[in-house]
Amino acid sequence: MTTVTMTVNGKSASGEVEGRTLLVDFLRNELNLTGTHVGCDTSQCGACTVHVNGKAIKSCTMFASDADGATVDTIEGQANADGSLNTIQQAFQDHHGLQCGFCTPGMVMAAAELLKKNPKPTETEIRDHLEGNICRCTGYHNIVKSIMAASGQDVSAIAAE
């Protein structure tokens, strides 16, 4: 076992890990940050998406030891300081961007990276960016609509609800 230390959602966090401990297991089991989900555990579904040093990655396919010293942001750190939903989260609520909610943490983290790089994405760019995030409920239309709305764009032209 070795000790890793990272800055998670703005706060320093340490814990003991094995070589094989995945970042998602460290977040969930050691730090009790269970908002990050494990869907497939094979880097297909994106439910475990978090940001490491500002970049969206699949935390089921990175070792915790490889994130030693890194800045990690998870869904728990996305809300505003007063606890209210941030713009992306609020848009998912307003536009019914989720049904069962299992994929939602990954969707929000993927969307956050996209809007940071591309503040006014087109519908095609949003769909391309979500290629590695699978949702089995919504059919994606309302997720795309939510992200479009979160970017401040008109959503009336997006496919039916």
Partner 1 sequence: MYNFEFVKPSSVADAVAALGAEDAQALGGGQTLIPTMKQRLASPSKLVSLGGIADMLGVSVSGGSVTIGGATTHADVEAADAFAGLTGLAGGIGDPAVRNRGTIGGSLANNDPAACYPSIALATGATITTNKRDIAADDYFQGMFTTALEEGEIITSVSMPIPEASNYQKFEQPASRFALVGVFVAKYADGVRVAVTGASENGVFRWTEAEAALSANFSADALADLSVDAADMIADLHGSKAYRANLVKVLTGRAVAAAN
Residues that bind partner 1 (CB under 8 A): 2, 18-20, 22, 41-44, 46, 49, 55-58, 61-63, 65-66, 68, 110, 113-114, 129, 131-133
> Shortest distance, CB of residue 81 to partner 1, whole angstroms?
27
Nearer Cβ to partner 1, position 47 or 91? 47
> Shortest distance, CB of residue 116 to partner 1, whole angstroms?
12
> Shortest distance, CB of residue 16 to partner 1, whole angstroms?
13
Nearer Cβ to partner 1, position 52 or 96? 52
**Cα separation of 110 and 85, whole Å?**
16
Nearer Cβ to partner 1, position 43 or 90? 43
> Shortest distance, CB of residue 156 to partner 1, whole angstroms?
27
Instruction: Name, in order, each residue with C-beta under 8 angstroms of 1's C-beta and a sequence gap of 6 or more.
Output: 16, 17, 18
Nearer Cβ to partner 1, position 21 or 146? 21
